[in-house]
Amino acid sequence: MIPTQDILLQTFIKEHRDHGFDLELLKTVSEQFDLELDGDHGVYHWHRVYKNTLILAKHYNIASQVFMLFALFHDSRRANEGIDPMHGKRGAKYARSLQKSNKILNALSTSDFSLLEYACSSHTKIDRENPLVDERIAQICWDADRLDIGRVGFVVDPTYLSTGYAKEVCMMRKKI
Ligand SMILES: [Fe+2]
62-105: per-residue pLDDT in tens?
999 999 999 999 999 999 999 999 999 999 999 999 999 999 99
Per the prediction, the chain carries an average pLDDT of: 90
pTM value?
A: 0.92
CA of 134 to the centre of ligand 1 (A): 20
Q: Answer whether 169's CB lies under 8 Å from 163's CB.
A: no
pLDDT tens profile 142-175? 999 999 987 777 788 899 999 999 999 988 888 7
CA of 140 to the centre of ligand 1 (A): 13
The CB-based long-range contact list for 29-38 (8 Å cut-off, 24+ gap) reads 29/72, 29/73, 29/76, 29/94, 30/1, 30/5, 31/1, 32/76, 32/94, 33/76, 33/78, 34/77, 34/78, 34/79, 35/78, 35/80, 35/81, 37/5, 37/8, 38/4, 38/5, 38/8
CA of 74 to the centre of ligand 1 (A): 6
CA of 88 to the centre of ligand 1 (A): 9
Residue 28 pLDDT: 92
Query: Residue 15: pLDDT band by 50, 70, 90 thresholds?
Result: confident
Residue 137 pLDDT: 98
CA of 111 to the centre of ligand 1 (A): 22
> At residue 14, does pLDDT exceed 80?
no
Domain range list for the chain: 3-175
20/115 Cα distance (integer angstroms): 19
Top-ranked range on mean pLDDT: pick from 7-16, 21-30, 43-52: 43-52
173/103 Cα distance (integer angstroms): 37
Determine whether domain 3-175 maps to CATH 1.10.3210.10: yes
Provide the residue type at 61 as one letter.
Answer: N
Query: Residue 4: pLDDT band by 50, 70, 90 thresholds?
Result: low
CA of 103 to the centre of ligand 1 (A): 24
CA of 176 to the centre of ligand 1 (A): 23
